[in-house]
């Protein structure tokens, strides 16, 4: 029995060391290979960035804003959006960016999807941002194989599927070529402005941009037909409880989104692929040029 207990103790020590090494290795791999993490690490190491346009938001923005195309059209830009981001996370990223770098962006494009979230006021901060924030205090919950579990599954997908491997990260945008058609159907629904106007964190982003003289453009992102609405594309002026106002463009209107072709432009579940992103970004460029003319 003693021999068995000693052997068990040896195995426990072995398993603990193995666990630590596994976590270190996993963390190293996700930092280097995961698109969201790479985006985050890249954004922390800019050398005097002079981006005129910054993109914020979650996965739909991560895929849809073609910052390479924006840059080629004279709007030097970077896509800070990361899959799963909450509005609070986006605000943290923007604050950090202004704290770290001296040049402010002229425009912030903030892509959101009212139908895809239950609220814009989620209090969580996505793990890639959380663990790399300057004041983050590490605890047991930060065990990488647990904290970044889903990244492992994403990496497995990329390991097994060529179509997943072909995704590229360019100036913060995640570019996919593959297509998953949109088989859903349109329904008659209005855009819920109240979801924006009642959101504390969206109001805080608006306030922060205005206080820092940044032109904020809130964009309701294009999505699958079932999420599209019959409200006009806009410009819509929305106001918040903190008395700030902002411009919102409803690019998820059926009118605007009719430009996207089901079996060409989508990469699945309301996310645009590279081709859809080009169409979408061309509209954004047109919008920015109009705004520049007005200024």
Partner 1 sequence: MNTISAEFAISAIAAAIIYYLINPRYRVGFLAVLSCAFIASFNYLLLPYIIVYSLINYYIGLKLPDSKNKKLLYRAAIAFNILQLVILQYSSFAIDPFFQIINSSFHVSKLSEIIVPIGISYFTLQGIGYIINIKMGWEKPERNFLDFLLYISFFPKFLSGPVERSNHFLPQLKENQEFNESEVTIGLRIALVGFLKKIAIANQMSPFVLDTFSDLGSADGSSLWILMLLLPIYLYFDFSGYTDIAIGFARMFGIKLLPNFNRPFFAENVSTFWKRFHISLAAWFGDYIFRQTVFRRRKWGVYASMYAVFITWMLFGIWHGAGWNFMVLGLLQALAINYEFFTRKTRYRLFSKWPKFLRLWFGRIVVYLFYGVSLVFFFSSDLQSVFTFFSGMSTVEYSIIDVLWRQIPMSAMVLAALFFILELFEEDYNGFFEKLKNFWWDGWKGSRFFRWSIYSFILAMLFVLGNKAEQFIYAQF
Residue 8 Cβ vs partner 1, minimum distance, rounded to whole Å: 9
Picking from 268, 81, 77, 260, the residue whose alpha carbon sits closest to that of residue 174 is 81
Residue 116 Cβ vs partner 1, minimum distance, rounded to whole Å: 16
Region 166-185 residues binding partner 1, contact defined as CB under 8 A? 180, 183
Residue of 134, 140, 160, 295 that binds partner 1 (CB under 8 A) = 160
Residue of 6, 18, 103, 165 that binds partner 1 (CB under 8 A) = 18
Residue of 6, 32, 44, 149 that binds partner 1 (CB under 8 A) = 149
Q: Is residue 124 part of the contact set for partner 1 (CB under 8 A)?
A: no
Cβ-based nearer residue to partner 1, 51 or 148: 148
Contacts 24+ apart (CB under 8 A), 48-52: 48/101, 48/102, 48/103, 49/78, 49/101, 49/103, 50/76, 50/103, 51/76, 51/77, 51/78, 51/103, 51/105, 52/76, 52/77, 52/105, 52/106, 52/107
d(CA 163, CA 73): 29
Region 28-67 residues binding partner 1, contact defined as CB under 8 A? none
Distances (CA, A) of 228 to 5, 183, 220, 238, 254: 63, 13, 10, 19, 6
Residue of 1, 134, 139, 140 that binds partner 1 (CB under 8 A) = 1
Task: Give strand ranges (E) for 75-127.
Answer: 77-79, 107-112
Q: Is residue 153 part of the contact set for partner 1 (CB under 8 A)?
A: yes
Q: Is residue 243 part of the contact set for partner 1 (CB under 8 A)?
A: no
Q: Is residue 165 part of the contact set for partner 1 (CB under 8 A)?
A: no
Summarize as ranges the residues that interact with partner 1 (CB under 8 A): 1, 3-5, 7, 11, 14-15, 18-19, 22, 145-146, 149, 152-153, 156-157, 160-161, 180, 183, 268
């Amino acid at each position: 029995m003693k021999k068995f207990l000693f052997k068990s103790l040896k195995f426990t020590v072995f398993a603990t060391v193995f666990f630590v090494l596994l976590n270190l290795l996993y963390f190293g791999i996700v930092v280097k290979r995961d698109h969201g993490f790479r985006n985050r690490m890249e954004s922390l190491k800019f050398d005097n960035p002079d981006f005129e346009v910054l993109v914020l938001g979650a996965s739909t923005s991560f895929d849809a804003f073609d910052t390479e195309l924006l840059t080629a059209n004279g709007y030097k830009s970077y896509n800070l959006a990361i899959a799963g981001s909450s509005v609070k996370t986006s605000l943290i990223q923007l604050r950090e960016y202004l704290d770290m770098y001296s040049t402010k962006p002229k425009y912030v494009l903030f892509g959101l999807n009212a139908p895809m979230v239950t609220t814009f006021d989620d209090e969580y901060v996505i793990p890639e941002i959380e663990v790399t924030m300057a004041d983050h205090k590490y605890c047991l919950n930060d065990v990488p194989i647990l904290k970044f579990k889903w990244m492992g599954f994403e990496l497995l997908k990329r390991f097994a599927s060529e179509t997943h491997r072909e995704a590229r990260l360019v100036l913060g945008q995640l570019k996919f070529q593959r297509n998953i058609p949109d088989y859903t159907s349109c329904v008659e629904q209005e855009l819920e402005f109240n979801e924006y106007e009642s959101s504390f964190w969206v109001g805080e982003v608006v306030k922060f941009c205005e206080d820092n003289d940044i032109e904020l453009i809130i964009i309701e992102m294009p999505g699958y037909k079932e999420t599209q609405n019959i409200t006009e594309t806009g410009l819509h002026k929305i106001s918040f409880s903190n008395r700030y106002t902002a411009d919102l463009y409803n690019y998820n209107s059926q009118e605007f989104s009719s430009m996207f072709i089901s079996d060409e432009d989508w990469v699945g579940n309301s996310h645009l692929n590279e081709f859809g992103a080009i169409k979408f970004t061309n509209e954004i460029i047109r919008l920015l040029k109009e705004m520049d003319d007005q200024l």
